[in-house]
Chain A
Amino acid sequence: MRKILTANYLLSGKVIYLNSEKKWIENSANAAVFDNQEDADNALAFADTQINKLQSAYLIDVLLTSNGKPKPKSNQELIRATGPTNYFHDKQIKKN
């Protein structure tokens, strides 16, 4: 298994990911990758302690790119990570 933990910030609704320092970040490529169930469960348990900060938290399947970075496997999660494909919004602008 290869998973990363994602959520939305409660107040802003922004899409976020948990990194290896247990900080919430906006770039999925820098998220912590869990390759065993125990680590994944621990990450979920950590998210449960932050329900006043998060809208929801869940694990998603990822692939690893050639440079070892996680990339969401499903189309929906990929669009969620990179932003809508019809407009060039702030997320895409920030990355460029």
Chain B
Amino acid sequence: MYSYNDFDKNFVRQRVNEFRGQVQRRIDGVLTEEEFLPLRLQNGLYMQIHSYMLRVAIPYGTLNSKKMRQLALISEKYDKGYGHFTTRQNIQYNWIKLSEVADVLADLAEVDMHAIQTSGNCIRNVTSDHFAGAAVDEIEDPRPVAELLRQWSTGHPEYAFLPRKFKIAVTGSPHDRAAIAFHDIGLCAVRNDDGEIGYKIYIGGGLGRMPRIGRVLSEFIPKTQLLNYVDSIIHVYNRFGRRDNKHRARIKILIDELGLNEARRQIYEHYNSLKNESRLPSTDIIKFLMDEFSPPDFSTAKEHDLEKDFIRSLSLKNWAETNLTSHRDPNHVIVSVSLKKPGATPGDATAKQMRVLADLAQQYAYDELCVSHEQNIILPHVPKEHVVKIYNKLDEADLATSNIGMVSDIISCPGMDYCKLATARSIPIAKQIATRFCELKTERDIGPLKIKISGCINACGHHHVGHIGILGLDRRGVENYQITLGGDGTEDAHIGKRTGPGFSADKLMEAIETIINVYLNDRKDRNETFLNFYRRVGLSPFKLAIYGLPGTAYF
């Protein structure tokens, strides 16, 4: 894991002091709210509907126990004893006071963390695969490249005021767990014919009101050229991205308007002019970053037969079926800790739970944790011999929900319960769906199914890429929920298709249940997942089931 050097530490501390001064000037009335707004946003401080909200960056989701404990402490010291892990692998505190925010940032700086560039029209926190460094199919750990991009983009003077926010995701595996096709730039590790590892570059993906699947800009860029390449893309975007209309300001719209070929021509024009400049990351820098993320010594783990543990505990077996994933080392597994207990708020963890996770990481899992964009916490490297102990401790902390990838493992934005932009609530909908399928006890029978809920068109809940997506809107003062089907955020990227008119909150559950019953009744067998079933049969049978025949009320 990358550790801050003196430069990083000083930079973050200076920013804390600078912001402390800016806050004081606002309190003293030297700065108006209008003048203060861009300053607080650059430091991750939003005003939401109830209070200030602080969004803290967790680069590529990676944490150690010290950082996790500090996040827990901050939630108790300055907030209400919990934090909300987001779909951008960050954490948000919902109840922060302006008078204390500089102290929060100082506490974060103590553990090499900050809230810089978690808001505003800049390059945001670089996200990555939550199984980075552990995945069986990984070509290389993507985090050295993510860290390179983080260092380059943090405080980049040319890109502090882009036309709109800019999101970069990196994955090291062909199976995309980081939704790279739905980012402004997505990078995916690949090997060329010579066996050299470089990155395939996607551009112009995104969710929101105009969802787009990213398109391939280059099949292979060597690591030493990555910064120049990314710089060239953002350089062109910064010059020509629209600033006249907020809703058409993302790079995806520039690509739409220019066409991919012309965009590529302009990007390469700049790229070719940079190619021979000395500011390339040298192979030494790349090696340094690779070394920072060297894997733990996996050889110390003993061989262990988990099947024997499963025989002794059915609940452990059930949990293992959904929450354990094969690790690149045969004596380890990846543990996904669900923050989606049915009836609880998706992505929320109490200070106590954060400390339990920190303890487990430190004691049993090489002191490493990762926040997933699916709002769960991953212990990427767990020796098999420790799985039972970890499960028991998780169970004691109410963290042993066995539902990863299942119908109750729902991504949900905070929605109208917290967010100023929201047009409807999403948390109660997530809670209702998860509780309902828990009561029906059909979750295992349904199998893998991703439900994603956004409380507005900005799509923080990634509804476009949910196998079942739910979008909350306001229809003449009443919350109304549209359903999309068939979305997929993986390498087989698809944007979900809308079924038709939306449903009121009290009718939505019935519609979701009907959709799932269509699948359960008509699937070939249990091996045909919901998504595969949808791809085979299309939207029609679902529409028929939820709206009735054409000519009835909805048609």
Interface range, B side: 20 to 34
Select the stretch in A17-25, A28-36, A38-46, A51-59 that faces chain B: A51-59
A8 close to chain B: CB less than 8 A: yes
- When the two chains form the complex, which single residue of B52, B427, B477 contacts A13, counting CB atoms closer than 8 Å? B52
- When the two chains form the complex, which single residue of A8, A51, A75, A87 contacts B47, counting CB atoms closer than 8 Å? A8
Given contacts A11-B97, A11-B98, contact A75 B50 (CB under 8 A): no
Q: How far is the CB of B41 from chain A (nearest CB, A)?
A: 14
B104 close to chain A: CB less than 8 A: no
Are B97's CB and A85's CB within 8 A? Answer: no
Q: How far is the CB of A28 from chain B (nearest CB, A)?
A: 13
Q: In the docked arrangement, what's the CA distance between A30 and B477, Å?
A: 23
Are B98's CB and A76's CB within 8 A? Answer: no
* Chain B residues, Cβ within 8 Å of A51: 29, 32-33
* Chain A residues, Cβ within 8 Å of B97: 11-13
Q: Mark out the residues of chain A between 48 and 96 whose CB falls within 8 Å of any chain B CB in the assembled complex.
A: 51-52, 55-56, 73-76, 79-80, 83-87, 89
Closest A-chain residue to B28, C-beta based?
A52
Interface size on A, residues (CB 8 A): 23
- When the two chains form the complex, which single residue of B26, B28, B33, B345 contacts A87, counting CB atoms closer than 8 Å? B345
Are B99's CB and A80's CB within 8 A? Answer: no
Q: Mark out the residues of chain B between 427 and 479 whose CB falls within 8 Å of any chain A CB in the assembled complex.
A: 427-428, 431, 474, 477, 479
* Chain A residues, Cβ within 8 Å of B95: 13
* Chain B residues, Cβ within 8 Å of A8: 47, 51
Q: Which of B49, B95, B97, B422 has the most CB of A within 10 A?
A: B49
* Chain A residues, Cβ within 8 Å of B33: 51, 55-56
B80 close to chain A: CB less than 8 A: yes
Are B27's CB and A52's CB within 8 A? Answer: yes
Closest B-chain residue to A8, C-beta based?
B47
A5 close to chain B: CB less than 8 A: no
- When the two chains form the complex, which single residue of B425, B431, B477 contacts A73, counting CB atoms closer than 8 Å? B477
- When the two chains form the complex, which single residue of B27, B99, B427, B477 contacts A85, counting CB atoms closer than 8 Å? B427
Q: Mark out the residues of chain B between 50 and 102 whose CB falls within 8 Å of any chain A CB in the assembled complex.
A: 50-52, 80, 95-99
- When the two chains form the complex, which single residue of A13, A56, A74, A76 contacts B51, counting CB atoms closer than 8 Å? A13
Closest B-chain residue to A89, C-beta based?
B80
Are B427's CB and A11's CB within 8 A? Answer: no
A4 close to chain B: CB less than 8 A: no
B268 close to chain A: CB less than 8 A: no
B418 close to chain A: CB less than 8 A: yes
Given contacts A10-B27, A55-B47, A76-B422, contact A85 B428 (CB under 8 A): yes
Q: In the docked arrangement, what's the CA distance between A40 and B425, Å?
A: 30
* Chain A residues, Cβ within 8 Å of B477: 73-75
Are A13's CB and B47's CB within 8 A? Answer: yes
Q: How far is the CB of A72 from chain B (nearest CB, A)?
A: 11
Given contacts A13-B51, A80-B49, A86-B427, 19 further A-B contacts (CB under 8 A): A11-B98, A13-B52, A13-B95, A13-B97, A51-B32, A55-B33, A55-B47, A56-B47, A75-B424, A75-B477, A75-B479, A76-B416, A76-B422, A79-B425, A83-B50, A84-B50, A85-B417, A85-B427, A87-B80
Chain B interface residues toward A at CB < 8 A: 26-29, 32-33, 47, 49-52, 80, 95-99, 345, 416-418, 420, 422, 424-425, 427-428, 431, 474, 477, 479
